[in-house]
Structure formats: structure tokens, C-alpha cells
Amino acid sequence: MTSQHADNVPVIEDWSHLLDGKVAVVTGGADGIGKGISLLFAAHGAVVEIVDHDESLLKETVEAIQELGAKAYGFVADVRDADQVTEFKHEVMKRHATVDVLVNNVGDYRPLVRFLDSSPDSWKEMYDINLHHVFLVTHAFLQLMIDSGGGSIINVHSVEGMRGYPGDPVYGAMKAAVNHFSTCLASGYGRNGIRVNGMGVDLTQTTQVDYISGYEDVEHLWESWAPVGRLGWPEDQARVALFLASDLSAFVTGHNIPVDGGSHAGGGWFFSPDAKRFVNRPKGL
Ligand SMILES: NC(=O)c1ccc[n+]([C@@H]2O[C@H](COP(=O)([O-])OP(=O)(O)OC[C@H]3O[C@@H](n4cnc5c(N)ncnc54)[C@H](O)[C@@H]3O)[C@@H](O)[C@H]2O)c1
């Protein structure tokens, strides 16, 4: 039955602290997009539990958050390893009775292997770093999240899981699997208070994907590369993750948002600075 009253819409008390009192787990939160997400979540009042395999970057990020007067804890682990994920979960449970937000962010396209040169070993590597840990970490925390009264899961994948990626179809397939896992999980657990959404990342400056070094002379081409006309930053990704983590998106689940400066939407069309219009062929006619 529909209600005239919005009495089941979560009340947002403080719009400047959208995650007050929440516990957020972020994988790969020591650097890049995961770091951006961890910093913004902490600034919005969450206690952030970061798991990362890079001990020194992890220490730096946790300290940076603590210096802001916010709360974060770091745990060194390789999320591809089931035992290490279980240890991490136990560590988190020592500190908190609940987990409200889970961000599965770890992933990598490297080493990029062309399909004809690839092998079962390289396929397994792509599976482990892009998909297997999403299952492992989600499996580790889902029951706890349900028992805590629900929460939000955000799977950071790639625009390459939403469009054809000629460079490495195996990587594209793994990201597409994360995309669809998000949709399926959302449809299965919505009634348990769990929302699940994915983010299809592209064009974002990080250690892994460096759009600056070696590209200094093509700065002027951003207007053709990305519909928004600029490079993206971890902060751009973090803002969308904050929306998906918080009650701002209380009625959104099962979706995959390209966070890509428009590269997915504009795929196939390029702005030609010479022709001063969009073209869909190599030459601006
Ligand atoms: N940057 C982009 O433009 C872009 C484009 C498409 C997809 N993505 C996706 O976004 C996500 C984040 O990418 P990024 O560019 O920030 O990467 P990044 O390499 O800059 O950062 C990844 C973080 O994860 C950690 N990490 C890596 N492997 C780990 C493991 N096995 N266990 C624990 N921690 C591990 C790293 O130490 C690092 O802190 C990935 O899933 C990536 O595939 C990024």
C-alpha cells in the first residue's frame, strides 16, 4: 500500500555527515580510488576499516584520516586469500558489532595480455584480482550486514565491464561479472535491507592508471576524449560512492553507474577540435 507519508524514508539529520555512526569496510583503500573513498567516508563520520596489501601506504592513509580527527583502522592482507579475509573479518568484529557499508574496490588490468597470447594461468590471475575477492569479501561480511539491520555494498568495477573492451576481453569479462553480481545480489537481498550497486570507473588518475605521465603534450585533447572535457580524480569516484553508501540512495539498488566523465555514454563519438563538432569517423569531415 502506498503511503501519503514518507515515514519509511530514512531521515537525514546532518547533510554534512552523511555516514555518521556507520562502519565502512573498504578494500584497497590505501591508494587511488579506494583512498579517495576512505577519506571522504571518514570525513562524513564513518569509521573506516581499510584492508590493503601495501603496509606503508595503508599506514599513511590511516594516519591521514586520523589527522583529520576522523576514525580509521588498517589491516594488511591480500584479499585474494580466503584465510586472510577471514582474519580481517575477525579483526573488524573485535571492534564493531555491525558493518553498514562494504566497498569492494580492489582490481587491476595488469599485466595486460592480448587474448591470443593469454593462457589459463593469465585468465586465473585476472579472475583472482578482479572477481574472486569480491565473492570472498562479500561472503565474509554479508550475514553480519544482514544481522546489523542492512547496509550498502558498492562494487567498484570498470566501464570496460559495461562496453566492449578490445584490449583484454578477459579483464572486460571479469568486470562485467562484478557488474552483474551486483545486480543479482541486490535482487536477492533487498528484502534483508541490503542494497548493492556498482560503479563503472574510467578515466581516473591513480597510481594504476596514470593519465598524466607521458601525456603532458596532449592535455588539449581531453575535450575529445571525455564528454566532460577533463581527467577524473579519486574524489570524483568517492562522491558517487558516498551517494551509494548513504541514505541519499536509499531507493537505489541493483544498478551500475558509469563514473567515467561520460566516456560510456559518448562511446563512438569524438569531439574534433579541427571540425569543432562531434565526429564518428577518424577524420573530422
Ligand atoms: N583508475 C581508473 O581509471 C580505473 C579504470 C577502470 C577501473 N578501475 C578500477 O577501480 C578500482 C581501483 O583502481 P585504482 O585505479 O584506484 O587502483 P590503484 O592500483 O591505484 O589502487 C588499488 C589499491 O588496492 C590495493 N590492492 C591491490 N591489490 C590488492 C590485494 N590483492 N589485496 C589488498 N589490496 C590490494 C593497492 O595496494 C592499492 O592501495 C579497481 O577495481 C580498478 O580495476 C580504475
Measured distance CA(191)–CA(188) in Å, rounded: 8
Give the predicted TM-score (pTM) of the model: 0.96
Most confident of 165-169, 223-227, 235-239, 276-280: 235-239
- Could you read off the pLDDT of 171-215 as tens digits, one per residue? 999 999 999 999 999 999 999 999 999 999 999 999 999 999 988
Atom of ligand 1 nearest to the CA of 28: 24
Residue 4 — pLDDT band, cuts 50, 70, 90? low
Which listed CATH number (3.40.50.720, 3.40.50.300, 3.30.450.20, 3.30.360.10) goes with 23-279? 3.40.50.720
Would you say 175 and 160 are in contact if contact means Cβ atoms under 8 Å apart?
yes
Q: Any catalytic annotation for residue 171?
A: yes
Confidence band for 280, pLDDT divided at 50, 70 and 90: confident
Q: What is the pLDDT of residues 11-52, one digit of tens each?
A: 999 999 999 999 999 999 999 999 999 999 999 999 999 999
Question: For residue 205, which atom of ligand 1 is closest to its CA?
Answer: 1
How many Å apart are CA 250 and CA 65, to the nearest integer?
A: 26
Q: Is the pLDDT of residue 114 over 90?
A: yes
Average pLDDT estimate for 103-116 = 97
Radius of gyration of the chain (CA): 20
Of 26, 49, 50, 106, the one to substitute when testing ligand 1's pocket (max ligand atoms within 8 A of C-beta) is 106
* Structural contact between residues 74 and 59, judged by C-beta atoms closer than 8 angstroms: yes
> How large is the angle between the packed helices 133-147 and 169-189, nearest 10 degrees?
10
From ligand 1's centre to the CA of 46, what distance in Å? 21
Distance 8 CA to ligand 1 centre (A): 36
Q: What is the sign, positive or negative, of the torsion defined by CA atoms of 219, 221, 223, 228? A: negative
- Which atom of ligand 1 lies closest to the CA of 107? 41
Mean pLDDT within 140-158: 97
Whole-number Å distance, alpha carbon 207 to ligand 1 midpoint, is 8
Lookup: cell for 60: 599513511
Name which residue sits closest to atom 26 of ligand 1, judged by CA: 28
What's the pLDDT at 1?
40
